[in-house]
Amino acid sequence: MTAVPDLVGPVAGDPAGARELRADIRHWRRGRVSTSWLEAAQDAYVAVFATLMIGAMAGNVVLHLRRMAVDECVAAACRTGRATAPWLAVPVVLALVVAAARLVGPVSVTPAVASWVLPAPTDRAAVLRPRLVTAVAAATVSAALVSGLAAAVAGVPVAVTASLAVGTAALAGGAVGFCAWAQARHEGVSRAAGGSLAGLAWLVLVFLAVGRVPPPPSPSTGVWTAALVAVTAASILALVGGWRALAVVPGRSVATAGALAPSLSGALAAMDLALIWDVLHARRWRSRGWVRPLRGRWRGPLALAERDLARLRRKPSLLVTPAAALVVPYVGATLGGQRVVVFLAAMTGFVACLGLFSGIRVLRRTSILERCLPLQPAEAGLAAIAVPMLVVLAWGLAVAPALHGVPSGLAGLVAGLAATTACVRWMVARPPDYRMPLVSSPGGAIPPALIGALFRGLDVILLTTGPLLLVPTENGALVSLLVGGLTLSVLLSRRP
């Protein structure tokens, strides 16, 4: 007779607790482990060694940048940008923390836990608390590092740098707790908080663009002590609210965020940023649930352009990001960027206007759909980007006054055309071809296409703006327009 194995868990008939469920899962995993202690020790050694080495390198870089900021930053424009860095870093970091927290939950579980553990008659808060603690720890450490780096580069005193890093870390932890409360109660509140923080960062950029720079952080100990006490108290209240709200977090919310992690990790492993875009875009529209169908009225290539107009009517916020990004080239001009502002404007337009080109992404990634259209690839592609291209070209003309040292009118068209070409290049690029011979690298053998995937879009910006940067005249601008037009036509003529 076979002996009955001992099970780790509660007695039959008793309600299962979170600790017993985790013990059962741990028992199941340990019984099927395939990694030896030697392999685990080797992995731990590599991780610790890499962390220490990268940390030492990063510390050396920060010290070097701080020395350069203090000793070599003597121009008025350079001092202006340096004084603004601490004030700009805090709202930007907090806005990114809120955005990341909303993307991953901030409380999420794996699909297995969502289907096995959460439906069990147990305390849901006990299952979700470790996830919240992990999210808060990651946010506080990241916020402290980034804000401390910005303050160190700005050349502020060490005590002020430490206080700013601690205060930003406390605010980041409180922001995660607030997002956890909003995840359970009302997710729109966290969206409004993230928009408010982004608006605050934008106001700092506006003040910098017009030359009104806030004073550097004061080294007064009393001021920083009072600020830290207030920030810590507010963060503790937010964390307590998020901690108590875990018991009523909807299971669908934590399961959706957890299901997103495998897709993102797979896209990151392939270094396919466009695939990450597809994953996030699909998640957004699935969460919307439904849209009002619109019957098309135009025919031929104009029907594709009509789809972009309908998309803008459904989501006018797509134009908010390009409008807000107009301030970035003017900030670059205020800081003395000279002709390099053309490249900065093209990069800003590429990042800010990328969401307008989702139509060409759908058309080229579903090749069967494009082959069914009675249009040539170039004709269909041009119709799919007609509306976004007009918006980006108008955006380029709007930043033309900031492009000093070059023919501003033509330079604005160059910046807009370069941003358009970069967006199309990023959207229509084919996925990596793993059938090609691998290339040796320090990280192992990788497909050649993965090397250029990280620089996709930047390459055509350099190609388009290069003639104008080298020859800042009307002839250089005309050559840049010609190169950009030829590059765009080649990208649109490629068959899917």
Angstrom distance (rounded) from CA 103 to CA 101 = 5
Does residue 335 share a domain with residue 249? no
Say what the pLDDT of residue 456 is: 82
- Whether residue 55 is contained in a domain is answered as no
CB 324 within 8 A of CB 355: no
Contact at 8 Å (CB) between 143 and 94?
yes
Domain's final residue, options 222, 245, 269: 269
pLDDT for 400 equals: 86
Q: What is the pLDDT of residue 334?
A: 79
Confidence at residue 2, expressed as pLDDT on a 0 to 100 scale: 45
Around 282, how many Cα atoms within 13 Å sit in the side-chain half-sphere? 14
Asked whether residue 199 is assigned to any structural domain, the reply reads yes
Same domain (yes/no): 249, 343 = no
Residue 107 sits in the same domain as residue 200: yes
Q: Where are the alpha helices (DSSP H) in 31-123?
A: 37-71, 76-104, 111-116
Chain centre to alpha carbon of residue 128: 25
Within a domain: 282: no
Contacts of 342 (CB under 8 A, 6+ apart): 403, 406, 411, 414, 415, 465, 468, 469
pLDDT tens sequence for the chain (496 residues): 444 444 444 444 555 666 777 777 777 767 766 777 777 787 788 778 777 777 777 666 666 666 665 555 656 666 666 777 778 888 888 888 888 888 777 887 777 777 777 776 677 777 788 888 888 888 888 888 888 888 777 777 777 778 888 888 888 888 888 888 888 877 778 888 888 888 888 888 888 877 776 666 665 666 667 777 888 888 888 888 888 888 777 777 777 776 777 777 777 766 677 777 777 777 777 666 666 777 778 787 788 888 888 888 888 888 888 888 888 888 888 777 677 888 888 899 898 888 888 888 888 877 777 778 887 878 888 888 888 999 999 998 888 888 876 777 788 888 889 999 999 988 887 776 667 777 776 556 676 667 667 778 888 898 888 888 888 888 888 888 899 889 888 888 876 5
Domain check: are 464 and 409 in the same one? Answer: yes
* Helices within 155-272 (DSSP H only): 158-184, 187-209, 221-245, 251-269
- Supply the pLDDT for residue 476: 86
Cα–Cα dist 457/453, whole Å = 9
Q: Residue 439: beta bridge partners?
A: 446
Instruction: Determine the pLDDT at residue 8.
Output: 46
Please indicate, yes or no, whether residues 239 and 331 belong to a single structural domain of this protein: no
Q: How many domains does the chain have?
A: 2
Do both 115 and 260 map to the same domain?
A: yes
pLDDT at 442: 59
Is 291 domain-assigned?
no
One domain, residues 423 and 382: yes
Last residue of a domain, one of 269, 294, 318: 269
Residue 67 lies in a domain: no
Closest CA to 245 of 149, 178, 181: 181
Look at residue 187 and tell me if it is in a domain.
Answer: yes
256 and 172, same domain (yes or no): yes
- My answer on whether 246 and 316 are in the same domain is no
Residue 29 lies in a domain: no
In a domain, 464, yes or no: yes
- Half-sphere exposure in the Cβ direction for 271 (13 Å, CA): 14
256 and 329 assigned to the same domain = no
b/e burial code for range 416-455 (CB count within 10 A of at least 16 → b): bbbbbbbbbbbbbbeebeeeeeeeeeeeeeebebbeebee
Interacting residues of 16 by C-beta distance below 8 A, sequence separation 6+? 9, 10, 120, 121, 122
Tokens of 53: 């080495």
Side-chain half-sphere CA neighbours of 355 within 13 A: 14
Domain extent for 375: 302-431+442-493
Distance (Å, whole) CA 88 – CA 153: 13
Closest CA to 360 of 302, 294, 427: 427
238, 178 Cβ separation under 8 angstroms: yes
The answer to whether residues 327 and 255 belong to one domain is no
Cis ω on the peptide bond leading into residue 401 (within 30° of 0)?
Answer: no
* Amino acid 4: pLDDT: 44
Helix, strand, coil % over all residues of the chain, rounded to 5:
75, 0, 25
Look at residues 221, 247, 269 and tell me which one is the last residue of a structural domain: 269
Which amino acid does the sequence have at 463? L
The pTM of this model reads 0.77
**Tokens 């607030």 map to which residue?**
178
- Are 114 and 260 contained in the same domain? yes
The DSSP letter of residue 472 is: -
